[in-house]
């Protein structure tokens, strides 16, 4: 019974401090951090602070990744446009009429075929 009374006294004595009112002066002076209720909750508050830092860090990393993705998408579009332009130029310069004009401008003595090409067939002996 003696132990039971002690527990009750401890419970009552710790509860009596909780009924104390908080003032603005306690917040400004920092006395609120010396209260038993706050000290008991300090590991949880530190855990919440750690989670807040992790959340902020994650947010900054995601913003950086999104900016990098936007830059890469823009570069992909530019490269796609360049590839289309290059392939269209290649198709234009590979036309027979354009090649013929380039050969004439260069002064090379080549002539255009007037007959269709023929297949050469060799007989095996």
pLDDT of residue 3: 54
pLDDT at 9: 53
- pLDDT tens for the chain, 125 residues long, are 555 555 555 555 554 454 567 778 877 887 777 778 778 888 998 999 999 999 999 999 999 999 999 999 999 999 999 999 999 999 999 998 899 889 989 988 888 888 898 899 998 87
Q: What is the pTM of this model?
A: 0.51
Beta-carbon contacts of 46 under 8 Å, excluding residues fewer than 6 positions away, are none
């Amino acid at each position: 019974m003696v132990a039971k009374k002690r527990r009750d006294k401890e419970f009552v004595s710790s509860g009596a401090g909780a009924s104390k009112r908080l003032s603005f002066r306690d917040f400004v002076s920092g006395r609120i951090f010396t209260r038993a209720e706050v000290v008991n909750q300090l590991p949880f508050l530190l855990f919440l602070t750690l989670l807040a830092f992790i959340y902020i860090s994650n947010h900054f990393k995601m913003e950086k990744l999104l900016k990098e993705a936007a830059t890469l998408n823009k570069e992909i579009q530019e490269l796609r446009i360049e590839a289309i332009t290059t392939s269209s130029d290649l198709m234009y310069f590979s036309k027979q009429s354009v090649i013929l004009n380039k050969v004439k401008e260069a002064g090379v003595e080549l002539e255009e075929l007037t007959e269709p090409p023929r297949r050469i067939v060799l007989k095996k002996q």
